[in-house]
Homo-oligomer: A and B are copies of this chain.
Amino acid sequence: IAKEVAKLLEMKAQLGGDEGKHKFVLKTPKGTRDYSPKQMAIRERVFNAIITCFKRHGAEVIDTPVFELKETLTGKYGEDSKLIYDLKDQGGELLSLRYDLTVPFARYLAMNKITNIKRYHIAKVYRRDNPAMTRGRYREFYQCDFDIAGQFDPMIPDAECLKIVHEILSDLQLGDFLIKVNDRRILDGMFAVCGVPDSKFRTICSSVDKLDKMPWEEVKSEMVGEKGLSLEAADHIGEFVQLHGGLDLIEQLLQDPKLSQNKLAKEGLGDMKLLFEYLTLFGITGQISFDLSLARGLDYYTGVIFEAVLLQQENDHVEEPVSVGSVAGGGRYDGLVGMFDPKGRKVPCVGVSIGIERIFSILEQRVEASEEKIRTTETQVLVASAQKKLLEERLKLISELWNAGIKAEVLYKKNPKLLNQLQYCEDTGIPLVAIVGEQELKDGVIKLRVVATREEVNVRRENLVEEIRMRTSQ
């Protein structure tokens, strides 16, 4: 103890300067959080649903380092590059924390000359954003990515990505949702038709991307005021971005005299039509909307883009519903791998990223609102004793159970009271208690108690494992 106190005082002195009163700040870094066991239990459910879906679609899994060479990330994220976390130059390579899982995936493909893979990757990514944690936005957060790389016939992998989003959002029972779909080629064709100069395509695209958070009038004034677009062009865009629909809208635009003359737009619309045919076969067009206002922020998309949003529930019992943005998004990026290949060889890719943190926020709030009790362990049985001086017998028994694969706990006390042992089961949801007693030991039995019903039966020791398995299977 003396040594510990000395150490503490030394620490205080180190930190505290003259007065030794420096306040040690006990917190996680801004925009990050710990996950408690209860939160982890909810999160595991969500991960399981997502991984199960990815595996159902035949995906392999890879992992990459949490940091990359700084130059690997350079020039991939447009305006968002300022949000990248850099590591301190401590001698050696210059490193940055990954910003997403897509660029590391493209680097992985180019580095290993892989031209054909279907993989998922679930890992944390890092953005020095202004966190809005109540809305599920953090500086450290998980992404769950599924991507298909390879040269294939058009729109078949793209349709599968949308099917995956549909399956996951349905499985998680998050309520009604809508998956908006568009194509960068249609957007670019639309910009051309509206009279946007080529050099302004990307920046006007960024403005369109803000339509989910800002009204059209504000976006328009940004285009005209800040970005120097003509009022006429902006108004023309304004007409297009109101449009959303299905196959009918695609047909209508394919007939549009101007748009149908634009090569890019025509290509994009043709593929969009094909996509909708495949989505019809999958039976999911009811939740899909071809939406000309969808633009997506990232630079690297080259074809189809999509984003899933949850629709506000009318019968929402939650008092202050979490304001959630998109819960999934993705698209086609046929040029990214080529940016890493020394000879610029391209590997066409399409992928989807599930916005797990927002989904998690919703489910966490739902659990809070309900009375549902979440178990944070899977323990099947507590090994307890009715009398004193039975620690050794408890340890012997629990060792037998562990060796047989039974999930078992014991209180770390020499002589715990039976009541405290039963209370522990109540608190943690352990369904069974195996009670060691002197008489039972003589008789070669263990008393098995069902916590919920208080039923007690004597089970022969050699049958105990089987009995516990039977009573906790389902």
A interface list, Cβ under 8 A from B: 4-5, 7-8, 11, 14-15, 23-30, 32-37, 40-41, 44, 55-69, 71, 74-75, 85-90, 92-93, 95, 97, 107-108, 110-112, 117, 119, 124, 126, 128, 140, 148, 150, 152-153, 156-157, 159, 163, 167, 278, 281-283, 302, 334-335, 338-340, 342, 344, 346, 376-379, 391-392, 395-396, 399, 402-403, 405-410, 412-414
Contact = CB atoms under 8 A, between A and B. Distances in A.
Contacts of A28: 64-65, 68-69, 111
A65 B119 contact: no
A281 B402 contact: no
A331 to B, nearest CB: 15
Given A88-B87, A88-B89, A29 B148 contact: no
Given A56-B406, A150-B412, A338-B8, A61 B87 contact: no
A87 B90 contact: no
A407 B339 contact: no
A282 B90 contact: no
A14 B339 CA distance: 13
Nearest to A76: B11
A78 to B, nearest CB: 11
Contacts of A376: 60-61
A339 B377 CA distance: 29
A433 B26 CA distance: 57
Contacts of A67: 29, 32, 140
Contacts of A68: 28-29
B40 A4 contact: no
